[in-house]
């Protein structure tokens, strides 16, 4: 269960971090270096989580096809 939740956690945390930093910068009226880095890190986490989900789906589809195929 934790194995399946990790990519979704990466996506959720990454989106929250990126959007949060953008909103904070809009409210403050300027970008700081740290807010920019945290926004970039959040986007990176979301991308890694999405890529991990896609790779797992592709792997499961291939392995199921191999299991169901006749010998």
Torsion sign over Cα 15, 18, 21, 24: negative
**Residues of the chain where predicted confidence (pLDDT) is lower than 50:** none
Query: Look-up: residue for tokens 């971090």?
Result: 17
Is 36 contained in some domain? yes
For 41, the domain range is 10-64
Q: Is residue 5 part of a domain?
A: no
Domain assignment present for 58: yes
Chain mean position to CA 25: 22
In a domain, 44, yes or no: yes
- Looking at residue 30, the DSSP 8-state letter turns out to be S
Structural domain total, the chain: 1
Q: Is residue 4 part of a domain?
A: no
Structural domain contains residue 1: no
Q: Please tell me the predicted confidence (pLDDT) of residue 59.
A: 82
- Distance between CA 4 and CA 35 in Å, rounded? 30
Predicted pLDDT of residue 9: 92
- Give the pLDDT score at 26: 95
Query: Does residue 41 fall inside a structural domain?
Result: yes
CA torsion sign for 42, 8, 4, 64 is negative
In a domain, 45, yes or no: yes
């Amino acid at each position: 269960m934790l194995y399946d939740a990790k990519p979704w956690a990466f996506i959720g945390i990454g989106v929250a971090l990126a959007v949060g930093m953008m909103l904070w910068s809009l409210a403050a009226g300027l970008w700081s270096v740290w807010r920019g880095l945290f926004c970039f890190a959040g986007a990176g986490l979301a991308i890694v989580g999405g890529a991990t989900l896609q790779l797992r789906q592709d792997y499961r589809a291939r392995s199921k096809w191999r299991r169901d195929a006749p010998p």
